[in-house]
Amino acid sequence: MIKPAYDVPSRSTPTLHNWTPVTTDELEKLIGSAPCKTCQLDPVPTWLVKNMKTLLSPFVTLLFNKSLAGGCYPSDFKKAVVHPLLKKAGSDTSQRKNYRPVSNLSFLSKLLERVVQKGLQEFLDSNNLMPVTQSAYRQYHIKETAVTKMYNDLLLAADEGDVSALCLLDLTAAFDTVDHDLLMLRLEHQFGLCGVVLQWFSLYLSDRTFQVVFGGSTSSQLVCGHYCLLCAARFCSGSASFYFIHGGPR
């Protein structure tokens, strides 16, 4: 595979050097609002953690703040269990293309990701680094937001007597096109992430592993590829990271 050119120009933007520490109250609320889903990587069921959140929150807060302050990411949080699921019921089960991988992460790793996602989103929003037209993975934005904007633009063009053409791009395994090195450069040069914050993301992306569970069998531990964000969280593997690579602040 040909690597992209890493000539990423720097932009004059505010910088994010350090994460804001999470408080015990904030973490207790996050635990309480988290879905009650348990992964086989979890040492205890999620419902038990939620029931004991008042007792456990101070200890989890200490762990998370150590990670944020030191720019490190626990190695156990980098593990994932992947379950291939059929995209459509009744599809040919012998064809791998008919499956989509669902990556399950431990409860605490997803909780830490939510803490970071909140801090990152606040920084991007407060400094107007996100385009107003991006609808995915943003609070108060849904697919209908994008459709409404597009429909309004078409109507305005028709009122002016203009001819409109709509071009739609659908990439296969789009998030697997995100190169980690390029992502890190854009986070630094285009979005102002630096210091401990940038180091945290670098360690978050590196040395991730996963096991595939299918038909009652479990594979050996595999290493995620340089372009693969299969095991990463939504704020990194979702449209946010795709925007960091292929978009940029406007």
pLDDT, position 5 = 59
Which backbone phi and psi does 243 adopt, to 5 degrees? Answer: -70, -40
What pLDDT does 242 receive? 46
- The reported pTM is 0.81
pLDDT digits (tens, 9 = 90+) for 52-105: 999 999 999 999 999 999 999 999 999 999 888 898 888 888 888 888 888 889
Cβ atoms 211, 82 nearer than 8 A: yes
Report pLDDT for 233. 41
> 109 burial class (0-12, 13-18, 19+ CB within 10 angstroms)?
buried
Six token digits for residue 125: 């929003």
For residue 211, what are the CA distances in angstroms to 40, 83, 222? 11, 9, 6
Would you state the pLDDT for residue 91? 86
Angle formed by the axes of helices 53-70 and 107-126, to 10°?
A: 60
What size, in residues, is the chain? Answer: 250
Spatial separation of the C-alpha atoms in residues 248 and 250, rounded to whole Å: 6
pLDDT for res 193:
93
Q: What is the pLDDT of residue 239?
A: 42
pLDDT in tens, the chain (250 residues): 455 557 777 888 899 999 999 999 999 999 999 999 999 899 999 999 999 999 999 999 999 999 999 999 999 999 999 888 898 888 888 888 888 888 889 999 999 999 998 999 899 889 988 777 777 767 777 888 888 999 999 999 999 999 999 888 776 666 666 778 888 888 898 889 999 999 999 999 888 888 999 888 888 888 876 555 544 444 444 445 545 544 555 4
Please give the full DSSP string across 177-216, using - where no structure is assigned: G--HHHHHHHHHHTT-B-HHHHHHHHHHHTT-EEEEEETT
